[in-house]
């Protein structure tokens, strides 16, 4: 069976290493990269390459959905997918980023229910994070550069929408922070954190909030954790097999 990752700027992705570690020793599987310039091109290449499954990263998570045939409940609600499985020519779309967010916190011993959380950014990853935290019982604030995008989705996600200037004022009261903005985003530069907060960065390569989190004494969770815990259910969807989670963890730890 053949699998791949698609998106833009994927050359240095850790996903091939992660999935290679997950396969049982006797499995005849491969995992590669499928660069594309658009979601439509990615789906065309996916079909033409005879791939059985494909992970989707930025900026295609929203745009691939209309090209799939069947969507999971999470994808229908969120409108973003990061996992696509080809079953006899039918493309099934899933969103395992939800599991990536929830398990990153649970594995750290962080209680989500009834705690105040904030999600920064409203792209595909931000939408998955807002959905995940809300359904885990957190009180979720959702911040974007302009509030219009999150305002349109607030009722569906059961969150409170904010624009960035207001988000900065609320940040101190939030126990849980999920950042889906990239390294260098202007809004992030002025943020400060404290020891009662736990921060999860989606960007494991740039680690946008690492220095500020450590300086403020906050508990920092690298995007490598998100990468791991979204990959575990994705592997099961691809292969029908349980992955070697310990081997996957070793890959993550060697790259952390």
Catalytic site residues? 61
Task: Rounding to the nearest 10 degrees, give the CA dihedral for residues 202, 135, 77, 220.
Answer: 0
Is the previous residue joined to 59 through a cis bond, with omega within 30 degrees of 0? yes
d(CA 77, CA 226): 20
């Amino acid at each position: 069976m053949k699998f791949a990752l698609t998106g833009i700027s994927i050359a240095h992705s850790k996903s091939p290493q992660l999935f290679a570690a997950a396969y049982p020793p006797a499995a005849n599987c491969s995992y590669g990269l499928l660069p594309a310039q658009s979601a439509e091109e990615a789906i065309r290449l996916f079909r033409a390459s005879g791939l059985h499954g494909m992970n989707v990263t930025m900026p295609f998570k929203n745009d691939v959905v209309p090209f799939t045939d069947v969507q999971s409940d999470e994808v229908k609600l969120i409108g973003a997918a990061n996992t696509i499985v080809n079953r006899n020519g039918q493309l099934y779309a899933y969103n395992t980023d939800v599991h990536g967010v929830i398990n990153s916190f649970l594995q750290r011993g962080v209680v989500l229910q009834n705690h105040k959380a904030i999600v920064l950014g409203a792209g595909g990853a931000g939408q998955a994070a807002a959905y995940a935290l809300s359904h885990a019982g957190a009180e979720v604030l959702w911040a974007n550069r302009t509030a219009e995008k999150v305002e349109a989705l607030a009722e569906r996600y059961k969150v409170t929408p904010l624009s960035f200037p207001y988000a900065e004022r609320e940040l101190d009261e939030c126990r849980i922070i999920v950042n889906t903005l990239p390294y260098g985003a202007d809004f992030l530069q002025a943020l400060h954190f404290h020891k009662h907060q736990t921060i999860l960065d989606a960007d494991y390569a740039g680690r946008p909030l690492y220095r500020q989190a450590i300086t403020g004494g906050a508990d920092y969770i690298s995007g490598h954790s998100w990468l791991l815990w979204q990959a575990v259910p994705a592997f099961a969807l691809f292969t029908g097999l349980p992955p070697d989670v310990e081997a996957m963890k070793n890959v993550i730890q060697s790259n952390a």
